[in-house]
């Protein structure tokens, strides 16, 4: 079993990123036994698909590295690195451009969403993004790729690329990866609107819980979260049609490792005036220590760079045989 996943280094990590992605990585890392390893990386090469200045990009990579470590990714147990320091990613991406089909890329919904109406002016990088993602996964012979639902299509493309390459060149080079989408994987919604997902791009900071918020801010955001006037139901089924209530109960349940039914059983019949303080305490207890570690690490650039450099060396070593195999299979190098 080889676990691999990547995340784009965008600033401002929030509770949705933590509960929807990073916490699952930490759990997989902690469940590994023997020599099995997890590979986690910052997809900085993918971030070229949107324009960003030099300083911002450097800051985002370091920031996200600090956040991942603060959340529990251990660079001594997992291989933690940024893509750009491992040239094999860009190299294999180019080789796989010979295998991936334009028709496949044209079907990618993320491209359609992100390019919007003005497709002609989207960058080529945004279009080829899924091929780079295939290279990320195939380089390491990953078997399990923990991702959100939105990445399922990219993983299917990765399998298609792997299968076509193996078939076209008559080799058994690439392992076909499985997406791993945890069932209980949380979809955290905005605190201001239960129908919109919590996102760094929401203009209202009150809509999200940032991993950098201090305790007062965390409590204030929970206190001001949008709700409805009804008391909480005794069972989760009663949350149907109450998106804000459902979201808060969902966040509580995920952070407390309880089912929504158990949370409703505990708070059923009470109003939000009773529930919110309990929720604020829970959020502060769970997010506070992560924030403290994050804030302490964030500005230690030398330590973060050293971690990434060490991770990149391990990653490059693990990627080398597959990259060599791809060149060889294609008759580019023997």
Q: Which residues bind ligand TRP (CB under 6 A)?
A: 5-8, 43, 46, 133, 136-137, 145, 147, 151, 154
Residue 200 annotated among the catalytic residues of the structure: yes
Question: Which residue is at the shortest CB distance from ligand TRP?
Answer: 6
Catalytic residue, candidates 112, 117, 152, 197: 197
If the CB atoms of residues 5 and 210 are measured against ligand TRP, the closer one turns out to be: 5
- Structure-block tokens of residue 329: 């299979």
CB of 155 to ligand TRP, least distance (A): 7
Catalytic residue, candidates 200, 226, 276, 286: 200
CA distance 131 to 204: 34
- Structure-block tokens of residue 149: 């639902």
Residue 114 annotated among the catalytic residues of the structure: yes
Binding site for ligand ADP (CB under 6 A): 7-8, 10, 16-17, 20-21, 148, 150, 186-188, 197-201
CB of 71 to ligand TRP, least distance (A): 16
**Residue 69 binds: one of ligand TRP, ligand ADP, none (C-beta under 5 to 8 A by kind):** none
44: nearest Cα among 67, 10, 3, 94: 10
CA distance 215 to 96: 47
CB of 63 to ligand ADP, least distance (A): 13
Question: What's the gap between Cα 322 and its chain centre?
Answer: 25
**Residue 97 binds: one of ligand TRP, ligand ADP, none (C-beta under 5 to 8 A by kind):** none
**Residue 207 binds: one of ligand TRP, ligand ADP, none (C-beta under 5 to 8 A by kind):** none
CB of 151 to ligand ADP, least distance (A): 7
62: nearest Cα among 332, 240, 294, 334: 294
CB of 89 to ligand TRP, least distance (A): 9
Residue 164 annotated among the catalytic residues of the structure: no
Q: How many CA atoms lie within 13 A of 329 on its CB side?
A: 23
78: nearest Cα among 132, 8, 140: 140
Cβ contact 102:64 at 8 Å? no
**Residue 137 binds: one of ligand TRP, ligand ADP, none (C-beta under 5 to 8 A by kind):** ligand TRP
Mapped onto helix, strand or coil, the DSSP state of residue 25 is helix
Cβ contact 58:20 at 8 Å? no
- Give catalytic residues, as residue numbers: 114, 197, 200
């Amino acid at each position: 079993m080889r676990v691999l996943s990547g995340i784009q280094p965008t600033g401002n990590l929030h509770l949705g990123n933590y509960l929807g992605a990073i916490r699952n990585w930490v759990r997989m890392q902690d469940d590994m036994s023997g020599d099995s390893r997890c590979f986690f990386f910052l997809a900085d090469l993918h971030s070229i698909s949107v324009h960003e200045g030099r300083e911002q990009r450097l800051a985002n990579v370091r920031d996200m590295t600090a956040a991942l470590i603060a959340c529990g990714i251990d660079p001594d147990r997992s291989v933690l690195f940024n893509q750009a320091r491992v040239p094999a990613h860009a190299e294999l991406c180019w080789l796989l451009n010979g295998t991936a089909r334009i028709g496949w890329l044209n079907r990618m919904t993320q491209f359609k969403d992100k390019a919007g109406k003005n497709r002609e002016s989207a960058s080529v990088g945004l279009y080829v993004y899924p091929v780079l993602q295939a290279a990320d996964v195939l380089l390491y012979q990953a078997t399990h790729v923990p991702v959100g639902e939105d990445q399922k299509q990219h993983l299917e493309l990765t399998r298609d690329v792997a299968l076509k390459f193996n078939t076209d060149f008559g080799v058994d080079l690439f392992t076909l990866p499985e997406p791993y989408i945890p069932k209980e994987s949380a979809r955290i919604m905005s605190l201001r609107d239960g129908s919109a997902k919590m996102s760094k791009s929401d203009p209202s900071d009150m809509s999200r819980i940032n991993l950098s918020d201090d305790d007062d801010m965390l409590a204030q955001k929970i206190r001001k979260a949008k709700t409805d006037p009804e008391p909480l139901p005794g069972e989760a089924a009663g949350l149907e049609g109450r998106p804000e209530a459902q979201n808060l109960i969902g966040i509580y349940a995920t952070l407390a490792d309880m089912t929504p039914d158990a949370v409703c059983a505990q708070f059923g019949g009470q109003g939000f005036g009773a529930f919110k303080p309990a929720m604020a305490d829970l959020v502060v207890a769970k997010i506070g220590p992560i924030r403290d570690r994050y804030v302490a690490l964030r500005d230690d650039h030398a330590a973060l760079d050293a971690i990434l450099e060490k991770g990149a060396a391990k990653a490059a070593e693990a990627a080398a045989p597959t990259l060599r195999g791809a060149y060889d299979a294609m008759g580019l190098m023997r």
